[in-house]
Chain A
Amino acid sequence: SYELTQPPSVSVSPGQTARITCSGDALPKKYAYWYQQKSGQAPVLVIYEDTKRPSGIPERFSGSSSGTMATLTISGAQAEDEADYYCYSTDTGGNDRRMFGGGTKVTVL
């Protein structure tokens, strides 16, 4: 079955850059989406269609994709960015094959 693979955790110092990767065989043909989820809250969309940022999302969040890997970058991480981050995409087999990555816990310390 199709899977999206993320590292379980990433640590970053305040003001530094955090990069979260998401690997999947269909990513060369399918968009990646990124969601931020803080403890006890619903997920929030931070990047869509690989690189686009919804209104209201700070510019320090950016996305990129190359080959089978999509990357979420937090430039100048702040304490408030500490959260779980999930990538999401679909398989090339059809729109019924939708999945999230396992999630990455970002710690700002």
Chain B
Amino acid sequence: EVQLVESGGGLVQPGGSLRLSCEASGFTLSSYEMNWVRQAPGKGLEWISYISSSGGTKYYADSVKGRFTISRDNAKNSVFLQMNSLRAEDTAIYFCARESKAEGFDYWGQGTLVTVSS
């Protein structure tokens, strides 16, 4: 069974940092591209970052470019999102999502909540 489990969320002050993890199981992580998508309270989905299966290609939304860094460790079945210079508007549930070539984001984790507040 494919599973994605996010962790690392919590309360952080503005300007602080947080590292999110997404642990994958039930499939070979190295065969898939991965993404992070977030959802602010009461708002819609926002794609924020992509990483290729090898980790060689990375994309970011303009809203997080220069502050967030996506990475992966296929040997440890994990994808990460390093978030620096956090702002109140980064408060959201952060989901990791597997990307299939044809089916797009075919599996999602349950998300981890990040709250940026003083």
Contacts and interface: CB of A to CB of B under 8 A. Distances in A.
Contacts of A98: 35, 47, 50, 59, 61
B32 to A, nearest CB: 14
A100 B48 CA distance: 10
A21 to B, nearest CB: 16
A59 interface: no
A33 B108 contact: no
A43 B47 CA distance: 13
A54 B103 contact: yes
A68 B104 CA distance: 20
Nearest to B48: A98
Given A42-B95, A86-B45, A48 B102 contact: yes
B106 interface: yes
Interface of B: 35, 37, 44-47, 50, 59-62, 95, 97, 102-106, 108-111
Interface of A: 1, 31, 33, 35, 37, 41-45, 48-49, 52, 54, 84, 86, 88, 95-96, 98-103
